[in-house]
Amino acid sequence: MENIIREYKCLDHGFVRLVDYMGDDTSIVQAARVSYGKGTKSVSEDTGLIRYLMRNMHTSPFEMVEFKFHVKLPIFVARQWIRHRTANVNEYSGRYSEMTDECYLPIPEQVRSQSTNNKQGRSDEQMSGADEIIETMGKTQKYLYSEYMELLDKGLARELARINLPLSNYTEWYWKIDLHNLFHFLRLRLDKHAQYEIRVYGEAIAKIIRQIVPIAYQAFEDYVLRSVQFSRNEVEALKRMLSNELPAEDKLIEIGLSKREIAEFKVFFVD
């Protein structure tokens, strides 16, 4: 196992670090079976149970596993992150302590124009003059921080002096969350449409937790992260397309479906 306690670098000055965790894959299984200890079940049976729970959205057993992270991140990323209101957070205070002079600057490849088909995001093409744009951002950041320090030197209260600092300024927090809600966070923040800067943090967290709950994380990837949902009308269309061309059961097993999944698949698309 990789050293999961180390800092996972994110962006230019940020990081994610696992501080502590409670539970693993066996904790999910124990909760689902309402038992004490590992019992006599095999690894394959435990794997099947976890995958069944994920596939059928039986979420409470996943809440038995918790993670606590130390995160350093730009304030604008923190404002997106905090919308996930299912965690416990304690953040660095600009009232008690001086803010640092560390601000986020994007790499040239991420300096892009507004997307024409996504009101929230950037396009796929790097803008011309990216280096000049980054230089302008950096100058503004340095000016605002120097102004902040001048106000502190004049005796202005820290809680007032900080208010002109940019959203690119870095903050830190401790963030504790259970596995079920963490999977929800990752489903949204690992999506290709998520803002690049928060996606970097999602990828770092995923690297950490997949080492602690490998079976649950694989199930999450298979049934949530890399899957799609169909509406009732789409299911009906697929039924009509597949009713006469459903592969043989051995072929479905070859592509990774269990016998239980094949039975469920037939209920939806054949029966």
* C-alpha distances in Å from residue 91, one per residue of 9, 21, 72, 187: 19, 19, 10, 24
d(CA 48, CA 26): 12
Averaged pLDDT for residues 149-153: 98
Find the farthest-apart pair of alpha carbons in the chain and give their distance in angstroms, rounded. 80
- Decide: 124 and 112 in contact? Cβ < 8 Å: yes
Q: What predicted TM-score, i.e. pTM, was given to this entire model?
A: 0.88
pLDDT in tens, 97-107: 999 999 999 99
pLDDT value for 1: 61
The answer to whether residues 70 and 17 touch, using CB atoms and an 8 Å cutoff, is yes
Q: What is the pLDDT of residues 10-22, one digit of tens each?
A: 999 999 999 999 9
What tens digit of pLDDT does each residue of 44-63 get? Answer: 789 999 999 999 999 999 99
Dihedral sign of CA atoms 253, 257, 260, 263 in order: negative
Residue percentage of the chain with pLDDT more than 70: 92
User: Catalytic residue among 17, 79, 187, 189, which?
Assistant: 189
- Residue 97: which of 159, 170, 37, 42 has the closest Cα? 159
Q: How confident is the model at residue 2 (pLDDT cuts 50, 70, 90)?
A: low
Instruction: Please give the pLDDT value at position 268.
Output: 67
**Regarding beta strands 88-91 and 122-126, do their DSSP bridges make them parallel or antiparallel, or are they unpaired?**
unpaired
Rg (C-alpha) for the chain, rounded Å, is 24
Q: What is the mean pLDDT of residues 187-203?
A: 96
Q: In Å, how far are 141, 149, 203 from 164, measured between CA atoms?
A: 10, 11, 31
In tens, the pLDDT along 221-252 reads: 999 999 988 887 777 777 776 766 666 778 77
Q: Provide the pLDDT for residue 101.
A: 97
Least confident range from 15-29, 49-63, 79-93, 252-266: namely 252-266
Dihedral angle sign, alpha carbons of residues 79, 91, 169, 210: negative
Is residue 79 within 8 A of residue 198, CB to CB? The reply is: no
Nearest to 28 by CA among 178, 226, 139: 178
The topology under which CATH files domain 7-104+168-225 is: Gyrase A; domain 2 (3.30.1360)
Mean pLDDT of 17-31: 96
Instruction: Please count the CA atoms within 13 angstroms of the CA of 31 that sit on its side-chain side.
Output: 16
C-beta of residue 201 within 8 angstroms of C-beta of residue 77: yes
Mean pLDDT of 117-145: 94
- Percent of residues, the chain, with pLDDT higher than 90: 73
Secondary element (H or E) of residue 44? helix 43-55
Using left for φ > 0, alpha for ψ between -120 and 50, and beta otherwise, residue 42 falls in: beta
Q: Give the mean model confidence (pLDDT) for residues 20-46.
A: 81
Can 189 be counted among the known catalytic residues? yes
User: In the chain, what are the domain boundaries?
Assistant: 7-104+168-225, 232-269
**In contact, 211 and 1? CB cutoff 8 Å:** yes
Between the alpha carbon of residue 161 and those of residues 37, 85, 144, 154, 171, the distances in Å are 55, 28, 10, 10, 16
